[in-house]
Amino acid sequence: MNIILIGGDQTTYFLAREFISQGHGVTLINRDPEDSRIISQKLKATVLLGEGSDPETLEQAGARSADVLIAMTSHDHDNLIACQVARLQFEMPRTIALVNDPQNEAVFEDLGISVAFSATRIIASLLNQQTRFAAITHLMTLGQGQISLTEVLLPDKSPAAGKTLHELDLPENFLVAAVLRGDTVLVPRGPTRLAVGDKLIVVGAQADFQTIITRLVGD
Amino acid sequence: MYAVIVGCGRLGALLAVGLSVAGHEVVVIDRHEASFRALSPEFSGFRLTGDATEHALLESAEVGRADCLMATCNEDTLNLMVAQVARHVFGVACVLARVHQPAFGAIFKDAGIQIISPTQLAFDAFCATLDEGANRQS
């Protein structure tokens, strides 16, 4: 895959290094001459000195044939415009932007960015999950971060304990894939009755996960 | 009308004072409080210090009820972002953005915002003046 990365901080550098080690082609765009020089010495990547939102710089970076553009600068406006120029001018199939203000996440997706992610929101939600629900273990993320596989332990006061899956009437985009009860593994069906202490393996849309957690664990 | 002006540089200050003197309700936003010194004493609108790419700041400026938003900062990307957010998120009917880079005009032509290019305006003015001079000589 050909990836264009915009930004100059440590995260961008390590991300580029990671992509290169996975065999992807990486072109970096950075506005700082000193940073660009250092990065180009350390990485097997093309490093361009310039603005990521500048159409000429993007053209030189190979925007016409790249598969994805990732904008990682500390300025939301530079990230947004770089992604929009890539999409509108070069028909980039996928654009990913770091948003610094978490409220801009939804705004960016409204404005045509494929994925907008906020480090602030991710860290805050990790902390919330840890403190509020010690019973929940996130196992893995699938489908470019949209699907989450999570283990949920039903606590003493679980509103779901004693009910069948059918009675729980979970949202359609969720599935209880397995129930671990002691040493037994159950593949649950509608009539399966849940009990306190059951470990549920839940698959569903990452975005709506709070809904199902509340239904299974309580507030 | 209620106008929000983003950026209180030479152009922003001129617009803010002009609209305020004409009797309009005006809020001018700038990242640096010192920039408001560019406003002449006739200005009777509000000053708001902060970053216009921060959603909460636009909310506190009540952009949702603005009739018009003008983005006049020095950075093209900032003006383009604020203008699009005002148009598509806050539903402001009339949105103008100053954009220096001529290539952006074509790229963002369908973004629902009006782009004012100083480069293009200067080019047009130069050509028009040149034509007048040529006509006078002939």
Which H helix or E strand runs over A53? none
Q: Which amino acid is at A24?
A: H
CA distance B60 to A164: 48
Q: Does B82 touch chain A (CB under 8 A)?
A: yes
Phi, psi torsion values for B97, nearest 5 degrees: -130, 130
Higher pLDDT among residues A168 and B24, named by residue: B24
* ipTM of this complex prediction, to 2 decimal places: 0.89
Residue contact A111–B88, C-beta within 8 A: yes
Distance from CA of B137 to the nearest CA of A (A): 40
Q: What pLDDT was estimated at residue A131?
A: 53
| pLDDT above 70: residue B50 | yes
Mean residue pLDDT of chain A comes to 88
Each residue's pLDDT tens digit, A27-81: 999 999 998 998 999 998 999 999 999 999 999 999 999 999 999 999 999 999 9
Query: Cα B137 from chain centroid?
Result: 38
Residues in A touching B82 (Cβ below 8 Å): 77
B54 touches chain A (CB under 8 A): yes
Which residues of chain B neighbour A83 with C-beta distances below 8 Å? none
- pLDDT range class, residue A147, cuts 50, 70, 90: confident
Q: Which of B82, A112, B90, A26 is nearest to B99 (CA)?
A: B82
Domains and CATH numbers, chain A: 2-121 (3.40.50.720), 128-217 (3.30.70.1450)
Tokens 């960015």 map to which residue? A113
**Is B54 in contact with A111 (Cβ distance < 8 A)?**
no
The full length of chain B comes to 138
> Alpha-carbon distance A27 to A55, whole Å?
15
**Mean pLDDT on A152-168:** 87
| Predicted TM-score (pTM) of this structure | 0.75
pLDDT at A128: 65
Tokens of A134: 């010690």
Query: Please, what are the domains in chain B?
Result: 2-137 (3.40.50.720)
**A81 vs B55, B81, B89: nearest CB:** B81
Contact B100/A at CB under 8 A: no
* Beta strand pairing call for B68-71 and A147-153: unpaired
Query: Interface of chain A against chain B, CB under 8 Å?
Result: 53-56, 75-78, 80-82, 84-85, 88-89, 101, 103-104, 107, 110-111
pLDDT in tens, B83-125: 999 999 999 999 999 999 999 999 999 999 999 999 999 999 9
Q: Which residues of B touch A89 (CB under 8 A)?
A: 107
Structure tokens at A161: 């304990």
H/E stretch holding A175: strand A174-181
Confidence of residue A87 (pLDDT cuts 50, 70, 90): very high
In chain B, residues with a C-beta closer than 8 Å to the C-beta of A54 are: 101
Which among B20, B54, B26 is positioned nearest to B40, based on CA atoms?
Answer: B20
Mapped onto helix, strand or coil, the DSSP state of residue B66 is coil
Interchain CB distance below 8 Å, B108 and A54: no
d(C-alpha B125, C-alpha B109), whole Å: 22
Q: Residue A143: pLDDT band by 50, 70, 90 thresholds? A: confident
Q: What pLDDT score was predicted for residue A9?
A: 85
CA distance A169 to B125: 68
Q: Which residues contact B128 (CB under 8 A, 6 or more apart)?
A: none
Give the one of B77, B89, B101 whose C-beta lies nearest to A107's C-beta: B89
